[in-house]
Amino acid sequence: MVLLGLAPVAPAAAQVPPAQRAEARRVFDEAERQFNAENFRLALEGFTRSRALMRAEPRAAILILFNIGRAHEELGDDAEALAEFEQYLREAPADAPFRQPTEDRVLELRARLAARGAGSGGVDPVLIVGASILALGGLVALGSLPTGLLALDGASTLEARCPGGECPASEAGRIDEAHALGVATDVLWASGLAVAAAGAALLLVGLTGGDGERAGLRPGIACAGGGCLATLGGRL
């Protein structure tokens, strides 16, 4: 659809001072030029200002609504375009230009927004990933229980066989095994908690509808020689 022009008004019906009308015309023409040059943001600003200057003449101001809607549409602002087109249809006279095409655009925009709303009703992928990582971390942490029990059993056996902390050479293999089980238990436990915490951080981002990401929140895992730490960093 093309744009509507700023139609002249008979002097008897004019409510806007001539100087203000001339300014509205200048702003409108510049907005139309920007629209044709595909500078839609500048066009929107110009049409909006021109309409404000013509408020005292409702017929002219209402017709400019159509151009404001077109600018919003070109910018991808479907909800704003729909609102402007609907107001245009409500307030413009029955013989206003482009009424039928505008009604068609309203139907299309409503359908597009409804489909977009239905599509956004699904589960956020961030929630799925966060829940999966949280579950994985829990499983890893639980995996430390068997090795921990074996490490405790080995330690109890060594305590019985090594009175006073002095172990014979024959127990060297058992000592190494108990040490390895203890290290494995610590690694599994710390890693499981870190992964679970990262999953919980992702769940937090998902449950806040992406607000965490917009605020710069970034879940992650930082590891050093002493273990791993789940983080939820960001900026204020």
Q: What ranges do the domains of the chain cover?
A: 18-119, 125-233
pLDDT in tens, 69-94: 999 999 999 999 999 999 999 998 88
Q: 233: phi > 0 → left, psi -120 to 50 → alpha, else beta; which? A: beta
Q: Which of 84-93, 146-155, 191-200, 211-220 has the lowest mean pLDDT?
A: 211-220
Q: What does CATH list as the number for 18-119?
A: 1.25.40.10
Region 210-236: mean pLDDT is 47
Contact (Cβ atoms closer than 8 angstroms) between residue 213 and residue 205: yes
Q: Is the pTM of this model over 0.85?
A: no
- CA dist 221 and 6 (Å) reads 60
Return the pLDDT at 134: 74
pLDDT in tens, 24-53: 999 999 999 999 999 999 999 999 999 999
